[in-house]
């Protein structure tokens, strides 16, 4: 009984640290708690605290024996264990596996199920899809803190989707603000006032927005540096839109200061959003293209399209691909600048050279590493992008990724590409082996499956003429055995037709070039 009371006291203490924004203290206490021989029920509670204290990988490690048991162990995961595991996956960017796991939950009415479904959509900027889950949770949750957290996230979703009438109803919820004030939930109060500033921002009520940001600032002081970053970001954006006549040089200096702060705090999404707003305001097509092609989130790309249309910028300006500069470090370059007189590498050409001979995984890896200009690729994101039919295993998956990256680096050296892959703290990124940097580009029209790419090459070489597999093998320097398997897939897809059999077999492209 004394051990159980000790655990509950520690749990309550850590929870209070988290809710007050004292993440460092929470992590320190959690380190002590994880050293103890906890029961299965206690491990679930610890995993919850680890995730909320920004240690989701440790939560995965604790729960995996129950959620993804080995064949030798016959554990049956509870809904609560699955939910917590899914939430940790979401935090780490493995949103597809998280969604698959959430789909197995038996009780779709659980508060945590609704909340984590919403989080999974919010993680990829898909706020519209998160709203039904948050609305339902708001009507049924009996926990005051969860009710407050849900309200804050729902506010963010409403404002992002420009559903301001819905947002205003939550702002008028006096019990919510009384709860936050009475219980000194300073982080949530900071979020509340920052969101109210965004609400006025959308209505172009600049003075009201500035008043709310002052309130948010008062609750962020001495609290959380990320919260202070958000306040500074919106102060800059209010000034940017409020005074359109401000000197561009001054605006650019302020923009660069916010970028540096966001970089120092490792907050990629603030970098992405600040670049988007700034590029839209000054009509910088180069920066808009950088933000568009540098984000893997479909919902965010749709937001960009909607806003550039409103700003009378043509979709055609986005093009079908992009070029950017990578350096010897993982520094985030100024998106307005493309280095000159440096090596240039076309990622589509790289894939053409490394695609065949059983190395198709390398192409997926390469594009996963180039998917997001604003953050390195985590092990979880890479694994989900490359090994699409497998679940992440903390014991074996990192090794598989390292081995695959080693093979990719070998290919870079073999073909004299001035590229390599760097790694730190579980994050990977493309970098240059040249001190001057390297421009890398891609054309989305040339991406696709190995079969689709081969069909395009056949069309380029033979048009509508017949060809033999042996001749094609020699032209493309592809081993005949590898080519034979690919041609079979092309036949299944009805992209080519086959004439004859045996040594006299010939093929011809059926569809027009894609």
Q: Is the pLDDT of residue 126 over 50?
A: yes
pLDDT of residue 244: 77
Closest CA to 363 of 379, 378, 347: 347
Whether pLDDT at 264 is above 60: yes
Strand partners of residue 467: 507
CA distance 34 to 257: 39
The answer to whether the beta carbons of residues 392 and 383 sit under 8 Å apart is yes
DSSP character at residue 444: G
Tell me phi and psi for residue 345, to 5 degrees: -130, 130
Q: Rounded distance, CA 486 to CA 444, Å?
A: 22
H/E run at residue 267: none
- What would the pLDDT profile of 381-436 be if each residue is shown by its tens digit? 999 989 877 899 988 999 999 999 999 999 999 999 999 999 988 899 999 998 88
Tens of pLDDT, residue by residue over 431-455, are 999 888 889 999 887 765 566 667 7
Mean pLDDT score of the chain:
87
Q: Quick one: what percent of the chain has pLDDT higher than 70?
A: 91
Nearest to 398 by CA among 383, 384, 409, 387: 383
Q: Strand, coil or helix: what is 313?
A: coil
- Which pTM was predicted? 0.79
Contact 439, 324 (CB under 8 A): yes
- In the chain, the percentage of residues whose pLDDT exceeds 90 is 51
* Angstrom distance (rounded) from CA 220 to CA 230: 10
pLDDT at 512: 46
Running DSSP on this structure, what letter comes out for residue 467?
B
Neighbours of 413 (CB within 10 A): 11
Res 474 pLDDT > 90: no
Residue 513 confidence (pLDDT): 39
Hey, is 220 helix, strand or coil?
helix
> Residue 105: pLDDT above 90?
yes
- Could you give the CA distance from residue 272 to residue 277 in angstroms, rounded to a whole number? 9
**Among 76-85, 150-159, 281-290, whose mean pLDDT is lowest?**
281-290
């Amino acid at each position: 009984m004394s051990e159980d009371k000790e655990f509950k006291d520690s749990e309550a203490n850590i929870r209070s640290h988290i809710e007050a924004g004292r993440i460092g203290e929470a992590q320190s206490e959690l380190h002590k708690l994880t050293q103890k021989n906890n029961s299965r029920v206690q491990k679930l509670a610890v995993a919850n605290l680890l995730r909320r204290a920004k240690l989701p990988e440790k939560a995965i490690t604790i729960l995996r024996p129950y959620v993804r048991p080995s064949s030798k162990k016959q554990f049956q995961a509870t809904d609560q264990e699955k939910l917590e595991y899914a939430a940790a996956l979401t935090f780490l960017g493995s949103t597809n596996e998280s969604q698959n796991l959430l789909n197995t939950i038996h009780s779709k009415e659980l508060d945590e199920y609704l909340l984590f479904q919403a989080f999974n959509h919010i993680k990829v900027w898909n706020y519209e899809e998160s709203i039904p889950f948050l609305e339902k949770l708001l009507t049924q949750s009996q926990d005051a803190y969860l009710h407050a957290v849900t309200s804050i996230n729902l506010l963010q979703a409403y404002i992002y989707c420009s559903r301001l009438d819905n947002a205003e109803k939550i702002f008028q919820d006096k019990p919510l603000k009384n709860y936050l004030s009475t219980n000194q939930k300073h982080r949530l109060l900071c979020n509340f006032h920052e969101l109210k500033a965004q609400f006025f921002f959308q209505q172009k009520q600049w003075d009201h927005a500035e008043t709310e940001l002052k309130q948010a600032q008062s609750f962020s002081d001495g609290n959380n540096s990320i919260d202070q970053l958000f306040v500074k970001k919106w102060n800059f954006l209010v000034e940017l839109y409020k005074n359109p006549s401000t000197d561009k040089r001054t605006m650019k200096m302020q923009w660069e200061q916010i970028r540096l702060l966001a970089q120092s705090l490792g907050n990629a999404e603030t970098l992405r959003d600040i670049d988007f707003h700034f590029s839209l305001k000054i009509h910088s097509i180069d920066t808009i293209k950088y933000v568009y092609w540098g984000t893997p989130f479909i919902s965010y790309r749709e937001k960009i399209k909607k806003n550039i249309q409103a700003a009378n910028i043509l979709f055609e300006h986005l093009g079908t691909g992009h070029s950017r500069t990578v350096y010897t470090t993982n520094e985030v370059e100024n998106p307005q600048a493309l280095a000159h007189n440096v090596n240039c590498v076309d990622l589509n050409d790289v894939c053409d050279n490394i695609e065949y001979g059983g190395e198709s995984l390398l192409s997926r890896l390469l594009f996963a590493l180039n998917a997001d200009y604003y953050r390195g690729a985590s092990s979880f994101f890479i694994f989900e992008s490359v090994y699409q039919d497998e679940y992440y295993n903390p014991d074996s998956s990192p090794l598989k990724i390292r081995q695959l990256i080693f093979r990719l680096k070998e290919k870079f050296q073999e073909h004299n590409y001035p590229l390599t892959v760097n790694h730190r703290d579980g994050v990977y990124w493309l970098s240059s082996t040249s001190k001057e940097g390297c421009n890398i580009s891609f054309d989305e029209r040339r991406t696709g499956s190995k079969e689709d790419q081969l069909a395009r090459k056949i069309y380029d070489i033979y048009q509508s003429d017949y060809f033999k597999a042996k001749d094609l093998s020699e032209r493309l320097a592809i081993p005949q055995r590898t080519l034979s398997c690919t041609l079979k897939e092309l036949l299944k897809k009805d992209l080519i037709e086959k004439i004859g059999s045996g040594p006299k077999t010939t093929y011809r492209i059926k569809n027009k070039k894609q």
